[in-house]
Structure 1
Amino acid sequence: MAQNCLKCLKYIMCAVNFLFFISGAIMLGYGVYLTGYQTHSLLKSMKFLTVANLLLVSGIIVTCVSFLGFIGALKENRCFLLTFFILLLILMLVELSVACLLLIYESKISKVLEEDLNAGLQHEKNNNSTMTHLKSDWNLVQKTFSCCGVNGSSDWGTQVPQSCCPTPADIPCLPRDSEKQEEAASSLYPIHAKGCLGALKEWFENNFLTTGIAVIALCVMEVLGMCISMTLFCHISSSGLSYKL
């Protein structure tokens, strides 16, 4: 009976880690794809913190950790299982630490974030002559959340990017003539009025419960993964199977 339970745990761990490996590979691939489209971060002080880079790092971590768990369980390798356990423990501690810091320093983080977003937006304005073809995460955020600028479209001045417009890319809502740029910022044109900082805050507030449940579910899965890996590790050790591959 005990052997059957251990085999069941082994194959469950293999299946779950295989699914995570596939998910990590998709994230990694999408991150590579986005590197050709997003070249600048929203934040000036953290230029490396782009959506593409986040997906790349997350994909690498997920694929590596899930690969260790899959091979460790399949081959009953103590070294891989122990490494998998340690990495999951580190990831869970980091996630909980970040969540606690966000809750404790929420107001300070919000203020610093607004200042950094404004600095990043000014940097984009100064370094992009054609704002309608802006190549940064601003495009992705403004299109996703139907917003414009940090606090509103006025943040861009007369250089409002195309991503601030709800119309398709092939139907420009902003006139290309430089003489009409000032007129473009008026309410006659369908530019998103909501600022991205407010849109992001609103999204997090509306999805606070869902985000919390997702974080708790992730931590529970990590704890279960650690328990299963340590159970298999102890079984392999007691059976004298050593570090076989």
Structure 2
Amino acid sequence: MDRSCVNCLKTLMIFLNFLCWLCGAFVVAFGIFQGMHSKFASLVTTFWPIYPANTLVVTGTIVTCVCYLGVLGAMKENRCLLISFFLLLFILMLVELAMACVFLVYNRVIDTYFEKDLMKSLQIYSESGPEENNIIKDDFDAVQHLFRCCGVHGEADWMGNAPISCCNQDPCNSSIHGNWQEGCLNKLRNWFAGNYRSTGAGVVAMFIIQFTCLCFTVPLFCHFSRNGLGYL
């Protein structure tokens, strides 16, 4: 392989890894933003990976670290960094595939956890005093107000003690008022599904970039090995 081909591969690999690094950094920032502004964190606690913000932060952090190795390895023509990058990226891609398979196979189990967590939160809300469990109360009220729903399966879940956030009037300032009849479970499921579709599209694009970087790593590493370069 002549030097011009090596330089071309290096440039492409640096560009793709830098692009992947930027994507990972954006994913981390978006996950943190979503975690700070979302009102659902305290309501879903049993199976934390179904909460999109957690998945985004963890995945984005790992991607940025691994891609940084790729950029350094290509720039410095360092075989140690390149082989470390190759192995870590290969493992990361396997983990991404495994997570995708888990969500596809155990989708119904995840829905069961989701429903149980919401019912548990509703029970805690119902049994708490005026100054108790305010975080869960605020989050549940925010969900009911935002999605225009009441309870988990419907208004009957509150057993006649539905909070003011279930009111379907605006403003709701009367003692006698109507409540939303639809439960929050299906609306929250649809919201999470929409988030994961968007996240999944981003992950697929990142997976393609990662696979391309993996393909470029092999000829670069072989070239450096044949010429005895790259350990410094």
TM-score (norm 2): 0.70
- Counterpart residue number, 2:86: 85
Q: Return 5+ residue gaps in structure 1 as ranges.
A: none
Identity of aligned residues (%): 38
Q: Which amino acid aligns with 1:105?
A: Y
1:104 Cα deviation after fit: 2.8
Cα distance in 2 between the residues matched to 1:50 and 1:17: 27
| Distance across 2 between alignment mates of 1:210 and 1:195 | 24
Does residue 222 in structure 1 map to residue 210 in structure 2? yes
* 3-state SS, counterpart of residue 41 of structure 1: helix
Distance 1:141 1:238 in 2: 64
Deviation digits for residues 9-62 of structure 1 (CA, Å, limit 9, x no counterpart): 221221222223233333334445556555843323256975554443233212
Match of 1:19 in 2: 19
Taking the aligned partners of 1:16 and 1:166, their CA distance within structure 2 comes to: 50
1:116 pairs with 2:117? yes
1:20–1:165 Cα change, 3 Å: farther
Given that residues 14 and 70 in structure 2 are in contact (C-alpha distance below 8 angstroms), is that contact kept between their aligned partners in structure 1? yes
Q: 2:23 is matched by which residue type in structure 1? A: S
**Which amino acid in structure 2 is aligned with residue 43 of structure 1?**
V
1:128-147 mapped onto 2 (5 Å cutoff): 128-129=133-134, 134=138, 139=142, 143=146
Q: Secondary structure at the match of 2:42?
A: coil
**One-letter amino acid of the counterpart of residue 46, structure 2:** S
Name the structure with the higher helix share. 2
Alpha-carbon RMSD: 4.1
202-211 or 61-70, which moves further after superposition? Answer: 202-211
1:58-116 Cα deviation digits (max 9, x unpaired) = 33212211211111112222222222212222222122222223333333332233223
Q: Distance in 2 between matches of 1:37 and 1:53?
A: 13
For residue 70 of structure 1, what is the aligned residue in structure 2?
71
Alignment of 1:223-242 (within 5 A): 223-242=211-230
- 1:228 Cα deviation from its structure 2 partner: 1.3
Q: Distance in 2 between matches of 1:81 and 1:165?
A: 59
CA distance in 2: counterparts of 1:5 and 1:223, whole angstroms: 20
Pairing 1:41–2:42 present: yes
Distance 1:52 1:117 in 2: 18
Q: In structure 1, what is the Cα distance between the partners aligned to 2:33 and 2:103? A: 30
- Residues 69, 165 of structure 1: alpha-carbon distance in 2 compared, 3 angstrom cutoff: farther
Point out the more displaced range, 14-23 or 145-154: 145-154
Question: Normalization by structure 1: what TM-score?
Answer: 0.67
Preserved CA contact (<8 Å) 1:21 1:66: yes
* Equivalence for 1:159: 163
Distance 2:94 2:6 in 1: 27
